[in-house]
């Protein structure tokens, strides 16, 4: 692929040729959060990226950090102690189910970069990744102390626990970047307050301002989330959220509610819902309570002759 500068990839001019070419050959044109986010991240500014799920904002945060860490390790290739000194990047998510994010946004790019350099008869320095949650075995926790990762994947609670330990705390003296994902789910509750304190502690241990990158889906007001991320410091807000057109309609499954073939409107409702389900790839049906949810699911499954409707109880 021709990797010369074009309007589509101009946002990648700060990347190393290796990372830039891998992305353009395997991913293609950058998404909006990537186009707008990479120049800001490269500048060293604190950045909050707001965009819908699946728009590539997590890779927008990780790829530039990966590029930086590979370049830094190459520059200190002759100093093994310098290359294995501690944690450089912290990725914090309020969710413990991190494996999918790690694979798509870290392991997949690293695997592709290794393959690309191997084809050229070269190699890239090892980038070590560790996950620390409440489920991490003690053996893995101990190994982290002996061989610190370059990138730490963790939750707010696990980060706090690490910061209370003298042996773990020293690993954060080398931290440069901190990525906070899913800000919309934590910035207005106790977990967010707790995390704010931990981020400030990491910055104090590192002895320098951290480069903070925040990722969020729709949140309002966005400025408040930015203040949460930055702790009152300057932050660039990149809002890629686009309001989608909303189609709202009111329909009645029967012509006259006074004339019901089965003395109830529910069979007609099931039939109308079934028609909507079959006309769409996926359908969410919201009802008032658990009893009605189970009744609608049972009625539709009976009409379809197979159990394909599932119920979810509680708030979504």
The confidence score (pLDDT) of residue 1 equals: 42
Tokens in use for 29? 């044109």
Average model confidence (pLDDT) across the chain: 86
Q: What is the DSSP letter of 48?
A: E
The confidence score (pLDDT) of residue 247 equals: 83
Residue 170 has pLDDT above 50, yes or no: yes
The confidence score (pLDDT) of residue 199 equals: 96
**Residue-wise over 16-41: b if at least 16 C-beta within 10 A, else e?**
bebbbbbbbeebeebbbbbbbbbbbb
Mean pLDDT, residues 92-96 = 80
| 72-86, 96-110, 154-168, 191-205: range with lowest mean pLDDT | 72-86
- Taking only the tens place, the pLDDT of each residue in 180-217 is 998 988 888 888 999 999 999 999 999 999 999 999 98
| Angle between helix 266-278 and helix 290-304 axes, rounded to 10 deg | 70
Nearest to 183 by CA among 151, 154, 213, 152: 213
Provide, rounded to the nearest whole percent, the portion of the chain with pLDDT above 90: 42
The confidence score (pLDDT) of residue 149 equals: 93
Compute CA distances 275 → 3, 14, 37, whole Å: 49, 52, 42
The confidence score (pLDDT) of residue 98 equals: 61
Structural domains of the chain ordered from first start: 10-239 (3.40.50.300), 249-316 (no CATH)
Between 312 and 68, residue with greater pLDDT: 68
Residues 6+ apart with CB under 8 A from 311: 290, 293, 294, 297
């Amino acid at each position: 692929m021709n990797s010369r500068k074009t309007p589509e990839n101009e946002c990648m001019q700060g990347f190393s040729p290796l990372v830039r070419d891998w992305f353009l050959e395997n991913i293609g044109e950058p998404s909006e959060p990537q186009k707008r986010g990479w120049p800001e991240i490269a500048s060293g500014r604190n950045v909050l990226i707001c965009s819908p799920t699946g728009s590539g904002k997590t890779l927008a945060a990780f790829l530039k950090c990966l590029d930086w860490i590979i370049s830094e390790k190459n520059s200190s290739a002759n100093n093994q102690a310098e290359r294995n000194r501690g944690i450089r990047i912290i990725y914090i998510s309020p969710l413990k189910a991190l494996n999918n994010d790690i694979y798509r946004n870290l392991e997949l790019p690293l695997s592709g970069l290794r393959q690309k350099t191997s084809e050229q008869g070269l190699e890239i320095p090892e980038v070590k990744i560790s996950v620390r949650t409440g489920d991490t075995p003690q053996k893995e926790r101990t190994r982290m102390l002996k061989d610190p990762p370059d990138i730490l994947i963790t939750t707010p609670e696990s980060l706090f626990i690490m910061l209370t330990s003298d042996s773990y705390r020293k690993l954060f003296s080398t931290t440069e970047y901190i990525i906070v994902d899913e800000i919309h789910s934590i910035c207005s509750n106790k977990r967010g307050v707790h995390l704010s304190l931990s981020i400030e502690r990491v910055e104090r241990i590192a002895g320098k301002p951290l480069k903070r990158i925040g990722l969020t889906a729709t949140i309002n007001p966005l400025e408040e989330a930015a203040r949460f991320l930055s702790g009152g410091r300057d932050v660039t807000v990149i809002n890629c959220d686009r309001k989608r057109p909303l189609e709202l309609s009111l329909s009645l499954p029967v012509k006259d509610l006074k004339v019901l073939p089965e003395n109830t409107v529910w069979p007609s409702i099931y039939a109308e819902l079934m028609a909507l389900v079959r006309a769409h790839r996926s359908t969410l049906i919201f009802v008032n309570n658990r009893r009605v949810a189970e009744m609608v699911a049972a009625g539709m499954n009976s009409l379809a002759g197979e159990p394909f409707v599932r119920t979810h109880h509680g708030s979504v």
